[in-house]
Structure formats: C-alpha cells, structure tokens
Amino acid sequence: MIADPEPPESVAPSWNASGGEYLRMLSVRGRILRVAVREGDPDRPPLLLCNGIGVSLELFQPFVDALDPRRGVIRFDMPGVGGSPAPVIPYHLTTLAPLLAGLLDQLGHQRADVLGISWGGGLAQQFALRRPDRVHRLVLVATGPGALMVPGRPRVLRHLLTPRRHRDPDYAARVAAELYGGSVRKDPVLARDLLHATTRLGPARGYFYQLIASIAWTSLPWLPRLRRPTLIMAGDDDPIIPLVNARIMHGLIPHSQLHIYHGGHLELAADAERLASAVEAFLTCRHKPAGLDADLTAEGSQQ
C-alpha cells in the first residue's frame, strides 16, 4: 500500500511509504501531477506506467507488486484524475509527450521502459513516436491505434461515454461482463472492487478531458516509424479493443512481438502475476524472448 500525500499546496516534499514506494505531488510543465515512485536497480531503466481512462494509479498496484522488486516503477495520475488537479482547459494526446519527458526529468531519468494500457497505450505510443530517445522499451496492453482502429460494438462503447462506472459501484458490476470481458464475465464484482475499492476518484470533468484528448488522434500512419522494441499484449475476450487491432499494430510496428492472453480488458489488474511474468520476460531479455514471438503464445494456443 502507498501512503497518500497531503493536498497539492505542498508540491516538492515526498512521503515515504511501505514497500519502498512513495507519493509526490510534482509540478511538471505547469501541471500538478500525483506521482508514485518505487525505487529500483539504478542500472535498469524504470518502468513508466500510463493508465487507462478515468482510473488512478492505485488500480495497478497488484501488477506493480508482481514485478521484480528490483525494477523501479513510476506511476502518475493524469490531470483531473485521481489526486492530480484538473487543468483549466482540456488537452490533447498530441501535446502530452513533453509532459512525460518533463516527469522523467524531474525524477532524474534519461530513459524509461514505458507501459501503456487502454487510453494510456495511446499516450505511450505518442511518447515513443515523439521522443524515442526517452523510451527504452515499449509495452502496449489492451490498446489500439486510436481513431483509425476497429471499434468495439456500439452497445459496449456507449458505456465509455460517461464516468458512471467509476462513480457507481453497482452500475460497474452490472456492466462489467459486457464492457470488460475476461475474468469479470464470471465474477463481475471483481470489476467493481478493482474500480472502487482500490482507486481514488477525481472530478468528473477529468474523465471528459481524457475523452476529448483522444478525439481524432491516431498513431496508425506512423506506426512503421516506431523503432523501439515493442511488446503488444491483447486479450482474446476484450469487448473494448477487439483483438484484430493488436494484429494490425503487430503488422505495422517493425520487429514488434505479439502476446495474446486469455482474458479481457482489465486482466493487467485482475490477473497481475500472469501478465507481469510476460512483461518481465520482455523487459529483461536482450534478444527476442522465447514464446513471445508468435501470434499465439503457448498460453494462447491452449484454449
């Protein structure tokens, strides 16, 4: 668990917490960000996590705990989400690469491994395309190339138009199976617990700012220029991001690796140990990790 910091009036100090993690409120390029840092081996680049829409950094605590404890990890709340104050005006994904670069500067890191999930996968792609010098390796989980992607069914996507699932626990449980697939089809209460028991709620406009940020954004024409080592991870039951998008991205990103896992959109939190092992294998192997270079891994072929 991470100890929560004081309100953002105090920007510079840090707060120690158990497990070698601490929270800080940092001023980065004119924005106040709530940042969690786990110190790690200084000879390894840290892992920078970019969250999905509307969720605070606590959601992926199980994933962080499942990683090698020697791996440094940086998490943050987007402006208007979790504990980061909302900006005065909306922003766009195309403008956010300097924000991540400034965050790494503040923490004293020249480069990082970058993992983005869902909406955060778009942010991770944008950062890797705009600032490849700051990205060591790239992991894209349950994400797509933006506006030019194969969308989920309208019945599913309509649930994403408002933050209601983040504000109403019963509603989250009701829509979980249809919206997230995977583990929560059999246990929809799991989605409710992940979204409400472990995360911190921000103002509603923060969610809408994230929606606005992705309007008309796409990485698709530029994916062949993405030269950083890239692992694409996709669930075989993800109603929000159909699996075909991962295959398209795999075909366009040079020398990328595709890992298809059994599960849905929330598996990085719901089945953290299983997915963390695949991420660790990719980040630590100097060459193409065995078992991650095929369209279906050994795990994927068992179904």
The answer to whether 238 touches 156, Cβ cutoff 8 Å, is: no
Cα–Cα distance for residue pair 230/239, rounded to 1 Å: 23
Tokens of 167: 């504000």
pLDDT value for 294: 41
Beta strands across the sheet bearing 14-16: 14-16, 21-28, 31-38, 73-76, 47-50, 112-117, 135-141, 230-235, 257-261
CA quadruple 136, 147, 272, 86: dihedral positive or negative? positive
Averaged in consecutive runs of 10 residues, what is the pLDDT profile of the chain (303 residues)?
43 48 95 97 97 95 97 97 94 96 98 98 98 98 98 96 95 96 96 86 92 97 97 98 98 97 97 97 74 41 31
pLDDT value for 78: 97
Helix 188-196 to helix 169-180 angle (10° resolution) is 120
User: DSSP letters of 126-184?
Assistant: HHHHH-GGGEEEEEEES---BTSS----HHHHGGGGSSHHHH-HHHHHHHHHHHH-GGG
pLDDT value for 299: 42
The answer to whether 24 touches 35, Cβ cutoff 8 Å, is: yes
Closest CA to 254 of 284, 282, 285, 222: 222
The answer to whether 24 touches 7, Cβ cutoff 8 Å, is: no
pLDDT value for 200: 82
pTM, whole model, 2 decimals? 0.90
How many CB atoms neighbour CB 60 within 10 A?
Answer: 27
Reduced to 3 states (helix: H, G, I; strand: E, B; else coil), residue 33 is strand
The answer to whether 75 touches 35, Cβ cutoff 8 Å, is: yes
pLDDT value for 14: 44
Cα–Cα distance for residue pair 23/137, rounded to 1 Å: 24
Cα–Cα distance for residue pair 166/151, rounded to 1 Å: 22
pLDDT tens, 192-245?
A: 999 987 778 889 999 999 999 999 999 999 999 999 999 999 999 999 999 999
Mind telling me the catalytic residues? 118
Cβ within 8 Å of residue 122, ≥6 positions away? 93, 116, 143, 144, 146, 214, 217, 219
Helix 119-130 to helix 97-107 angle (10° resolution) is 80
Cα–Cα distance for residue pair 83/99, rounded to 1 Å: 17
Reduced to 3 states (helix: H, G, I; strand: E, B; else coil), residue 30 is coil
